[in-house]
Amino acid sequence: MASDESAATRSTVRLTPAPRDGGGAVHVETGVPVLDRLLEQVARYGRFDLALAVASDSAEAQVVASGRALGAALVEPLRAEGASGHGAGYIPSAEALAHVALDLSDDPCLVSNFDLSAAHVGGLAGDMAVRFLRELAQAAGIVLHVRLVEGNDTQHVLNAIFKALGVALGRACDVGRER
């Protein structure tokens, strides 16, 4: 279990591989419903059990804390004996198609080709998705490449990106599980 705490923000996260037959348990409470749903997709597509709870003063702080907490929880499984530490996935959501690739790095960063700064989905500003991904990459110690291949609808774009992130993380943390 990883935990990140500060005066204004508390977060706890538990991340474990789901059973081989799937059916992983997912419980996410970030205080930002659209982010909760996107993180549930990460867990399902990555085949992880995930429990994540974040309490903070603002939506922006909740997004940042969620990215940091999930990234910190991924450090160990990404580096576990037998785990490749790298992975990639292409996933569609309606008209949107996203590709996510990641690898362990001593110089973590986010590289992306999409701009959602003017978009808002369910109270989440699109640039908050980028902040989440950047915090995740930094805390996990990965280079994270996110490519939007196609897509116009912001919700579909976010769905495709977070689903592809789940697939890439699942592959990177895989220690002999059949996919």
Least-confidence region, from 16-25, 28-37, 167-176:
16-25
Residue 9 has pLDDT above 50, yes or no: no
The more confident residue out of 173 and 58 is 173
* Token code pair at residue 112: 């992306």
* Token code pair at residue 159: 């769905």
Residue 158 has pLDDT above 80, yes or no: yes
What's the pLDDT at 127?
Answer: 79
What's the pLDDT at 174?
Answer: 85
The answer for residues whose C-beta is within 8 angstroms of residue 98's C-beta and 6 or more apart is: 90, 91, 92, 146, 147, 148, 149, 151, 157, 160, 161, 163, 164
What's the pLDDT at 15?
Answer: 66
The answer for residues whose C-beta is within 8 angstroms of residue 75's C-beta and 6 or more apart is: 2, 139, 140, 141
Could you tell me the pLDDT band of residue 1, with boundaries at 50, 70 and 90?
very low
Domains of the chain: 2-173 (3.30.230.40)
* Residues 69 and 4 sit within 8 Å (Cβ to Cβ): yes
- pLDDT tens-digit readout, 129-146: 899 999 999 999 999 999
Could you tell me the pLDDT band of residue 121, with boundaries at 50, 70 and 90?
confident
- pLDDT tens-digit readout, 65-111: 999 999 999 999 999 999 999 999 999 999 999 999 999 999 999 99
- pLDDT tens-digit readout, 13-31: 666 665 555 556 888 988 8
Q: Which residues pair with 92 in a beta bridge?
A: 97
Rounded (10°) angle between helices 59-78 and 33-46: 10
